[in-house]
Amino acid sequence: MVDRLRGDQREDQTRLRDRPMWDLRQTLEFDPLPSGVAMVLEDLLRQMVREEVERSIGLIPRDLERQSQMQIPSSPEIPLYQLIFKNQPKTPIFAGARIQDHEGSPLQIQLVVGPTRSPCSSPSPIKIELVVLDGDFPSHDDWTSEEFEKALVKERTGRRPLLSGDVSNITMRDGSTTIGDLQFTDNSSWIRNRHFRIGVRVMPGINDRTFIKESMTEKFTVKDHRGELCRKHYPPVLTDEVWRLEKIGKNGTSHKKLSESNIHNIQDFLKLHSVDPGQLRHILNGVKDRNWERVINHASKCDLGDKIYCYSGQNAVKIFLNSICQVVQITIDGFPHTIEELPKNYRDYVRQLVREAYQQWNNLREADDVDANVALIQSQNLVQTEAGQVQWYQNSSQDSGIIEFKGEADEGSSSNSFQFDGVSSMEWSHEFNQMP
């Protein structure tokens, strides 16, 4: 009988598994059974209930997940704020040299509102860090933090970190901070595109990091620190060595030729260009015309300063020169004149004085009583004319008061001499200006 009951038990178990909503009330209506059978049925019921509950619980999360995906579509988080560089770094950048912005000030980082990019402040300090990025990043403006992370450039094997100084754990207060000490330790020639960017982001691990977007500078090259010793200056200054000019290499052929002609700095270069540009061009005869223009254009960016020098000739003639031997004023017997007012013979004599002043430059005295703001007569480069040296000297008859000129006279002049003896300075100056 027991075997029969056990066989019936297996049939009932199979049947009940196929009936998840088994009616327990029918079981209670059964006739009393032997105690052994009751125990078997109790174990069976407990197992069935446990399996059904576990199956039902397993179905609930999947149903809820499918329901949530249907009702609440996911959307990417849009950062509310962004870090930006107020100004771009000044280039060229050399490894080991302090990085500054294009105004010569330390780099400054600001916090702005993402959509409007208007400056703002944070209620609490923010920890940020600077990183090095590949120059080709990004290919679009809406990069993600994951793409930003992948674009980071690490140092070469066995080298120091690419950035040194104020790099990590920088505290930003009131929406702004200044990077006072920042240098590259290596050049950028070893990566494919040869360009770096400096990036800034909130330090990893900060809770609010997803709400503040990263930023970066424009791409640039980092040159080896040895190149800084030979770099050009923009703008140059008069005291710079002449090889600081474009197209004149340090210890190169042009540099050696200039040094042999006693042209050592840019002031020497510009002085000769003012007095005799043909001679200067002859010294640099190996320089192509296109490069020659670049040399002159670069040199012309110099600040000439406000120093004025005086050189005196005969018969109360004085010329006043700026720092590169250009005439800014001419006085005759104390009365000022411009180069355009003078007859040709006087212009020739002024040219001679300029050449004498150039040769005696170290002996010139600085003129303190001349307004340095007088307009430079830059269109009149006082160079030697084809007429040759012009001499101005007193006639052998010392009492005659006649000054003679050797050289060409202006067209229409009837004489190469005039007499000013016996007239006042004002009258003489008037008669002088009336000459053709």
pLDDT digits (tens, 9 = 90+) for 398-425: 333 323 333 333 433 333 333 333 333 3
H or E element, residue 265: none
DSSP string for residues in 190-218? TSTT--EEEEEEEPTT-GGGGGEE-EE--
Reported pTM: 0.44
- Residues 407, 46: Cα–Cα separation, whole Å: 134
Query: What pLDDT, in 10s, does the model give residues 273-298?
Result: 999 999 999 999 999 999 999 999 99
β pairing state of 176-179 and 107-113? antiparallel
**DSSP code, position 226:** G
The amino acid that residue 81 corresponds to is Y
The amino acid that residue 323 corresponds to is S
Query: What pLDDT, in 10s, does the model give residues 242-277?
Result: 999 999 998 899 999 999 999 999 999 999 999 999
Query: What pLDDT, in 10s, does the model give residues 119-154?
Result: 998 888 999 999 999 999 998 878 999 999 999 999
β pairing state of 176-179 and 196-202? unpaired
- Residues 268, 427: Cα–Cα separation, whole Å: 40
List all residues 6 or more positions away from 81 whose beta carbon is below 8 Å from its beta carbon.
111, 112, 113, 114, 120, 122, 211, 212, 213
Q: Is 11 exposed, middle or buried (0-12, 13-18, 19+ CB in 10 A)?
A: exposed
Reduced 3-state DSSP string for 361-423: HHHCEECCCCCCCCCCCCCCCCCCCCCCCCCEEECCCCCCCEEEECCCCCCCCCCCEEECCCC
Q: Is it the case that residue 186 has pLDDT exceeding 50?
A: yes
Query: What pLDDT, in 10s, does the model give residues 334-373?
Result: 888 888 888 888 888 999 999 999 999 999 988 865 444 4
β pairing state of 309-312 and 365-366? antiparallel
Q: Is it the case that residue 393 has pLDDT exceeding 70?
A: no
List all residues 6 or more positions away from 63 whose beta carbon is below 8 Å from its beta carbon.
none
- Residues 148, 138: Cα–Cα separation, whole Å: 8
